[in-house]
């Protein structure tokens, strides 16, 4: 018999002070045309923190000051999942994979103009950063920023590190619930949806550190990721192998309902 299920370790963002701090990425470039040198193009991307959970909104502020003589056609943002596979047998080898999770763009900003953009990017159901107790796979996330400029000039690029956890920062204020919409009967939101096959078996939010230490944080729902394995059968299986549940598989990850939540304000 064979059954696929989700295995993850809790990642409490509150235990990592660095992910609570705001992050600012500054990109600047001056352009040359023959013997003339223009003023700089400055693009500053800011986020209020670098630690997030699935379901949370990633707010992005982009300030563009284009004192150059080159038009900025667009600033592109990509939330990327970076997976590194390691092996030491029969020889040391490393393979890397980059997957674009979400993307958006702002602009243009013509030469001599200045503009400020505010955008939001929702983080879907994803596994947390760093797979604990796994020595062969490293998992990271970042926000890749690329500034497209007109003419034969090289684009400006940079990246913002993103840490994805399973327990959100306690400083994030949960959405205010409308008392008129409260259920008339007690509801237990900690049970995985459906029959639990392929879900987060063994995960009890009520008994986890998140539920005990941060009572203001609502419990998560377990949502299937968009990245589904086409089949769970392998080379060692035969016609006698019995598959329990679906023959395809999409892991379920803890996802929070923070669409209307407010994040800490950016420091001036």
> Which one-letter DSSP state was computed for residue 220?
P
User: Is the per-residue pLDDT at 10 higher than 70?
Assistant: yes
Residue with tokens 């370790």: 9
- For residues 126-139, average pLDDT: 84
Q: What percent of the chain has pLDDT over 70?
A: 78
Quick: pLDDT tens for 26-61.
999 998 766 666 789 999 999 999 999 999 999 999
Residue with the larger pLDDT of the pair 186 and 135: 135
**Cα 203 from Cα 252, distance rounded (Å):** 11
Q: What is the 3-state secondary structure (H, E, C) of 134-196?
A: CCCEEEEEEEEEEEEECCCCCCEEEEEEEEEECECCCCCECCCCCHHHCCCCCCCCCCCCCCC
Quick: pLDDT tens for 166-224.
999 988 765 555 444 343 333 333 334 444 433 444 455 444 555 567 877 888 999 98
Give me the pLDDT at residue 181, please: 39
Residue 229 burial (10 A CB sphere; 0-12, 13-18, 19+):
exposed
Q: Among 2.60.40.640, 3.40.605.10, 2.30.30.90, 1.20.1290.10, what is the CATH number of 13-165?
A: 2.60.40.640
Q: Cβ–Cβ contacts within 10 Å for residue 46, how many?
A: 18
Element (H, E) at 215: none
Predicted confidence band of residue 110 (pLDDT cuts 50, 70, 90): very high
**Cα 254 from Cα 166, distance rounded (Å):** 6
Average pLDDT, the chain: 82
Query: What is the three-class DSSP state of 264?
Result: coil
Give me the pLDDT at residue 179, please: 46
Give me the pLDDT at residue 258, please: 67
Query: What is the three-class DSSP state of 211?
Result: helix
Our CA dihedral for 83, 245, 3, 233, rounded to 10 degrees, sits at -70
Give me the pLDDT at residue 157, please: 98
């Amino acid at each position: 018999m064979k059954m696929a299920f989700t295995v993850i370790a809790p990642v409490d963002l509150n235990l990592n002070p660095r992910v609570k701090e705001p992050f600012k990425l500054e990109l600047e470039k001056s352009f040359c045309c023959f013997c003339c040198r223009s003023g700089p193009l400055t693009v500053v991307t800011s986020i209020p923190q670098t630690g997030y959970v699935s379901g949370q909104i990633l707010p992005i502020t982009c300030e563009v000051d284009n004192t150059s003589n080159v038009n900025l056609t667009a600033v592109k943002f990509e939330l990327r999942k970076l997976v590194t596979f390691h092996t030491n047998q029969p020889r040391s080898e490393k393979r890397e994979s980059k997957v674009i999770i979400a993307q958006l763009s702002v602009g243009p900003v013509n030469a001599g103009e200045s503009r400020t953009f505010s955008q939001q990017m929702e983080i879907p159901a994803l596994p947390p950063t760093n797979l604990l107790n796994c020595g062969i796979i490293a998992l990271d996330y970042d926000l890749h920023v690329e500034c497209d400029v007109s003419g034969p000039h090289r684009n400006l690029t940079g990246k913002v590190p993103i840490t994805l956890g399973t327990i959100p920062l306690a400083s994030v204020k949960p959405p205010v619930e409308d008392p008129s919409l409260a259920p008339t009967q007690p509801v237990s939101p900690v049970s995985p949806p459906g029959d639990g096959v392929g879900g987060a078996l063994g995960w009890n939010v009520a008994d986890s550190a998140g539920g005990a230490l941060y009572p203001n944080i609502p419990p998560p729902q377990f949502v299937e990721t968009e990245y589904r394995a086409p089949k769970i059968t392998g080379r060692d299986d035969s016609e006698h192998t019995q598959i329990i549940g679906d023959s395809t598989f999409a892991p379920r990850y803890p996802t929070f309902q923070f669409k209307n939540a407010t994040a800490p304000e950016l420091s001036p």
